[in-house]
Amino acid sequence: VGVCLMSAGCVVCRPQSTAGRTALFLACLNGHEHVANFLLEKGAFLGTYDKQCSDELMVAACRGHMGVVRLILRRAPAIGWEDDGPHPALPEAVTRDQPEMLKLLITESRIEWTPDIRDPLLEGAVKRRHWRCQQVIEVGQTGLIQGVIGR
């Protein structure tokens, strides 16, 4: 584990780097699902933000680390929701044209799929001509869970 953490750029003996990145954050950033799982089992805390105001879910989602995102959402499904709306990883998945990540974020998190959530995402997908993301958004949470379009 120490070698994997060091390869992720983490100094193992320090709980948090100067950039605000914990060992768990770095494992998520670099897609080390097994390391992230190990750290969570040992009591690592989810919800650390780096200097760019990104948390573990955001960096894993932006980098396309599906396994890490799934792990985070299964450990803490409420992390997909913030006080003022959905987690920023949702619109970021639309911006980056990541329909598979968008499906995962919608189906695995405890997001209440309302027009307030859906409409801005749909508008962003249409504006950017990201048709696959548009399809995911139009089908919505219930359709994805029921398998209307493939996972």
Please give the chain's pLDDT, 151 residues, in tens. 454 554 444 444 445 555 668 999 999 999 999 999 999 999 998 888 888 888 999 999 999 999 999 999 998 866 656 666 678 899 999 999 999 999 999 888 877 788 888 999 999 999 999 999 999 998 887 777 677 655 4
Q: How many CB atoms lie within 10 A of CB 27?
A: 29
In this structure, the dihedral spanned by the alpha carbons of residues 141, 53, 67 and 75, taken in order and rounded to 10 degrees, is: -70
Asked if residue 115 lies in contact with residue 86, where contact means CB atoms within 8 angstroms, the answer is no
Going by C-alpha positions, the residue among 113, 133, 111, 112 that lies closest to residue 122 is 133
Rounded Cα–Cα distance for residues 44 and 22 (Å): 9
The one-letter amino acid at 108: E
